[in-house]
Amino acid sequence: MAADSKSDRGDLDALMGKMKSAAAPFRETLQKLHRDHAPINSGAVASYIPELAGASPDWFAISVVTADGLRFDVGDSDRLFSIQSISKPFVFGLALEDHGREHVLSKVGVEPTGEAFNSIVLDEATNRPLNPMVNTGAIATADLIKGKDQAERFKRLMEMFRRYIGREAYVENATFLSERATGHRNRAIAHLMMNFGMIEDRVDETLELYFQQCSVLVDCHDLAVMGATLANGGVNPITGERALKAEYVKDLLSIMLSCGIYDFAGEWAYRIGLPAKSGVGGGIVAVIPGVAGIGVFSPPLDEKGNSVRGVRVCKELSERFGLHVFESGGAGKSLRDEMSPRRSGS
């Protein structure tokens, strides 16, 4: 997308949150981004979970929420959909809070798989799934969530999502039941891991919890708030409530950067360079550390299970604003520093 440097500057100001009055040009940029990407008609809506097949390929939203609480929403930004795999880093964060880093890492690794999200590959040398962003590792992570019984584990999960999205979190029952009835591959994965002693023997409970976390309803704006919460050191910038201990924010972001986009993660890190997570419901959350969260929602997926429009919108935003976390300009003097009013002291 071509744009003169003057309007880029205005967009940047809005993104920086330095002047509330500069918000309008950035909103226009997002509207144009939405208009430009709406005609894309490649990709296919996920259907392996029957309930997802009813999504319209035309639903499309882009949201950005800055770490200091400015909000930008275009398109179908309040249409609810199931969070699916985007739940994975956030549940991983709760497991870290429940057990600490070393115990969690003894149960699930942090190596990219280069495999599809539902791959059955496990690290037999260390007796762990490879990372918490693929189904094996996410089921092992759900196994770690503490609670005296299933109800309490579920409540703690919902409470965690509430802190990130700033309102009560709900599971969409139809999606949950649909995946529970058809999730034979995940069931097989869980039993295989139980056989190897990678997870405890409450396998049905843990699978329920995993299917429930995937069925949490969010809209695109919620995704941006979740991303902004991570961008803001774990504190939800809209409610001011802490959702994650500050010490674990980097755990989530590093694993999102290396493993969040499955077998496209390497290319994503190279080209787009933002910690991110996608889900088969069509959502993508991306984080500009210290600056903002980005949410994109569009159900048609590419062959790797990532939203086609979502990947393209994130790529365009990253290139246009130089958002790659390793953007040249110097480690200490990066654009990110300039973009954060608090860090730059302005």
Ligand X SMILES: NC(=O)CC[C@H](N)C(=O)O
Binding region for substrate:
85, 135, 179, 186, 210, 262, 280
Return the active site residues: 85, 88, 210, 262, 280
User: In this complex, which beta carbon is closest to ligand X, that of residue 212 or of residue 236?
Assistant: 212
* Total interface residues for ligand X by CB under 6 A: 11
User: In this complex, which beta carbon is closest to ligand X, that of residue 117 or of residue 248?
Assistant: 117
* Phi and psi torsions of 78, nearest 5°: -110, 15
* Least distance CB 211 / ligand X (angstroms): 7
Residues 67-96 that bind ligand X (CB under 6 A): 84-85
* Least distance CB 108 / ligand X (angstroms): 16
Residue 280 in contact with ligand X, rule: CB under 6 A: yes
User: In this complex, which beta carbon is closest to ligand X, that of residue 48 or of residue 196?
Assistant: 48
Residues 96-135 that bind ligand X (CB under 6 A): 117-118, 135
User: In this complex, which beta carbon is closest to ligand X, that of residue 75 or of residue 279?
Assistant: 279
* Least distance CB 277 / ligand X (angstroms): 9
Distance CA 155, CA 166 (A): 16
Encoded one letter per residue, x for contact with ligand X by CB under 6 A and - for no contact, window 164-183 reads ---------------x----
* Least distance CB 49 / ligand X (angstroms): 6
Residue 214 in contact with ligand X, rule: CB under 6 A: yes
* Least distance CB 112 / ligand X (angstroms): 15
* Least distance CB 107 / ligand X (angstroms): 19
Question: Sign (positive/negative) of CA torsion 59, 167, 165, 104?
Answer: negative
User: In this complex, which beta carbon is closest to ligand X, that of residue 259 or of residue 280?
Assistant: 280
User: In this complex, which beta carbon is closest to ligand X, that of residue 34 or of residue 153?
Assistant: 153
Residues 283-322 that bind ligand X (CB under 6 A): 305
Give binding residues as ranges.
Answer: 85, 135, 179, 186, 210, 262, 280
Distance CA 129, CA 291 (A): 32
Determine the residue with CB nearest ligand X: 85
Distance CA 14, CA 98 (A): 37
* Binding stretches for ligand X (CB under 6 A): 84-85, 117-118, 135, 179, 186, 214, 279-280, 305
